[in-house]
Amino acid sequence: MRAVVQDRYGTAAVLRLENIARPEVGDQEVLVRVHAAGLDRGTWHLMTGKPYLMRVAGLGFRGPKDRVPGRDLAGTVAAVGSGVSRFEVGDEVYGVGRGSFAEYAVVRADRLAPKPTILSFEQAAVVPVSAATALQALTDHGRLEPGQRVLVIGASGGVGSYAVQLAKALEAEVTAVASSGKLDLVRSLGADHVIDYTREDFADSGQYDLVLDIAGNPGLRRLRRALTPTGTAVIVGGEDGGDLTGGMNRTLRALVLSRFVSQRFANFINKERASDLDRLTTFIDAGQITPSIDRAYRLDQVPEAMGHLAAGQVRGKVAIII
């Protein structure tokens, strides 16, 4: 099969297209004929091996353990493991697999769900990681309630574009923070208010019950200023935390601070699970979330797609058509 491969960490120049053997499917796994894959920041981190803390955490010291990059996918079931009963050959599915920048990829059955029928493969492929992260941030960790005021920092990117739509679907009043050129996008996603972070400090703009801190690495003092006295800030990510720890020190300080103040700070690593995909399908079927695709690239254009993401130019999500 055709697949993008990489043997060491680095820029997009480490990626190349090769013919390799199809992956073997395990007992609890499904082999998917990939029609489209999604690109996300996590895949970019796995390509670069940064922050370095990730390597120590077991992702491979000198190079990635998995040669084929890509996690999000949508496609058709080509084979099922002996322990899998939920799927049959031919089913249209979406989920989080290993090595989705390839014609075939293996996915654990508990990370796969039937594809929403109203979405194309291209649209479905850009949902799993980013939308599930947004959902978990708002509900499991942010404990959002209807009527609350939510600030989404990093609203124009992969996670943020879903967070804005999901927060609206959960009946919150949403303020979206983005750069000037992407304010139209976050408005079109349903944000009630927008803040251009190049002109205005979100911390001056009001008090929020929940802040999703997805980008920009703001200081804890600014986050506290943006919150109500009993508000919650969920630290999702951010690309300005340095190559070594990726901002982990700020997160650790936030978690310690949380024990001594009335405001709450939370942080999490997203869980990849079929139950969240099923929840997302309900929102999709109801027309409450729609993937916002900036551009779609062919498999041989994955390096270009990575460059586009790394430059911070993406509006919403990027898809790879296999």
Ligand X SMILES: NC(=O)c1ccc[n+]([C@@H]2O[C@H](COP(=O)([O-])OP(=O)(O)OC[C@H]3O[C@@H](n4cnc5c(N)ncnc54)[C@H](OP(=O)(O)O)[C@@H]3O)[C@@H](O)[C@H]2O)c1
Report the interface residues with ligand X, using CB under 6 A: 40-42, 130, 133, 153-154, 156-160, 177-179, 182, 197, 214-216, 236-239, 268-270, 309, 312, 314
CB of 79 to ligand X, least distance (A): 29
CB of 157 to ligand X, least distance (A): 2
Choice between 76 and 301, CB closer to ligand X? 301
Choice between 8 and 271, CB closer to ligand X? 271
Choice between 19 and 198, CB closer to ligand X? 198
Closest residue to ligand X: CB criterion? 157
Choice between 170 and 314, CB closer to ligand X? 314
SS3 for the chain, per residue?
A: CEEEECCCCCCHHHCEEEECCCCCCCCCEEEEEEEEEEECHHHHHHHHCCCCHHHHHHHCCCCCCCCCCCCEEEEEEEEECCCCCCCCCCCEEEEECECCCECEEEEEHHHEEECCCCCCHHHHHCCHHHHHHHHHHHHHHCCCCCCCEEEEECCCCHHHHHHHHHHHHCCCEEEEEECHHHHHHHHHCCCCEEEECCCCCHHHCCCEEEEEECCCCCCHHHHHHHEEEEEEEEECCCCCCCCCCCCHHHHHHHHHHCCCCCCEEEECCCCCCHHHHHHHHHHHHCCCCCCCEEEEEEHHHHHHHHHHHHCCCCCCEEEEEC
CB of 300 to ligand X, least distance (A): 22
CB of 234 to ligand X, least distance (A): 9
Choice between 93 and 211, CB closer to ligand X? 211
CB of 179 to ligand X, least distance (A): 3
